Amino acid sequence: MGPILSSLIDLQLVEYEVRKTKERLKKSKRAILKKEHSIKQHEGALNAKKEEIKLSKVQYDTLDVDIKSDEANLAKLRVGLNAAKSNKEYSAVLTQINTNKADMSKLEDRALGLMTQIDNDETVIKELEETIASEKEELLAIQTETDVLEEDIIAELGSKEERYQSALEKVNSKYRDMFVRLAERYDGEVLAEVAHVNGKRHSEQSCGGCFMSVPLEAVNALMTRDDVLTCPNCGRFLVMEMKSSTQNVIG
């Protein structure tokens, strides 16, 4: 293989390495974001529960006032019952007492229901607070771990980017911009190996990037000359084999 294609292959290999290292950096940050997101969600749930309890308590207090006023009313009615001067008056007051009692019993049931709900909500709050506390501890551990890891990765990335620059400079200047553009478009996969596939009648050559067939003349040119050819379909640079002439020095 000639120096023009070799230089492109070298650049492709470093391009992959730079991308892989950047991906590691992203991945380490993703773990932090994930934990932070989870904490935020739990804090949201915690605040909502606290608001619910507040409302339940207000409702409970209102019910309590109503029950107390019913109690006072009941006491008055009982006095009235004892002071009744006729059977008719007696039975009228008795009806009032029964109505009042039924009303009070409904209010008490509701108050009891609210108390149970408040108890349950308080349990949920306690659990959420414990979850958040342990998640915050975990976050701190991940952050510490990530800080160390990131320092290593950034140093590694620095040396890889230097190698990328020098590999880029070795590429014929007229292909440099094109390489960078294709790298953007194909997520770093700029070069494609020509693949041999067995067609219905005879074996065919196709682009390893987009799998469309590649003309035989192009394959012949690639095998005999140091020509830069692109896939007619996807535009990737075609090579017969992604093997660098200097691969032994790339680690």
One residue of 183, 228, 231, 239 binding Zn ion per CB under 5 A: 231
CA dihedral (150, 156, 162, 166) positive or negative = negative
Report angle CA 99, 100, 101 to the nearest 5 degrees.
90
Element (H, E) at 105: helix 87-170
One residue of 9, 168, 207, 229 binding Zn ion per CB under 5 A: 207
Cβ proximity to Zn ion: between 93 and 238 the closer is: 238
By CB under 5 A, is residue 208 in contact with Zn ion?
Answer: no
Cβ proximity to Zn ion: between 56 and 233 the closer is: 233
One residue of 209, 222, 229, 244 binding Zn ion per CB under 5 A: 209
**With left for phi above 0 and alpha for psi between -120 and 50, is residue 24 left, alpha or beta?**
alpha
CB atoms within 10 A of CB 179: 20
Task: Tell the smallest beta-carbon distance from residue 234 to Zn ion (Å).
Answer: 3
DSSP characters for 17-33? HHHHHHHHHHHHHHHHH
Task: Tell the smallest beta-carbon distance from residue 209 to Zn ion (Å).
Answer: 4
Kindly state the tokens that stand for 205. Answer: 């050559």
Cβ proximity to Zn ion: between 115 and 197 the closer is: 197
How many Å apart are CA 209 and CA 120, to the nearest integer? 59
- Please count the residues of this chain forming the interface with Zn ion, following the rule CB under 5 A: 6
By CB under 5 A, is residue 59 in contact with Zn ion?
Answer: no
By CB under 5 A, is residue 213 in contact with Zn ion?
Answer: no
Task: Tell the smallest beta-carbon distance from residue 206 to Zn ion (Å).
Answer: 8
Residues that bind Zn ion (CB under 5 A): 207, 209-210, 231, 233-234
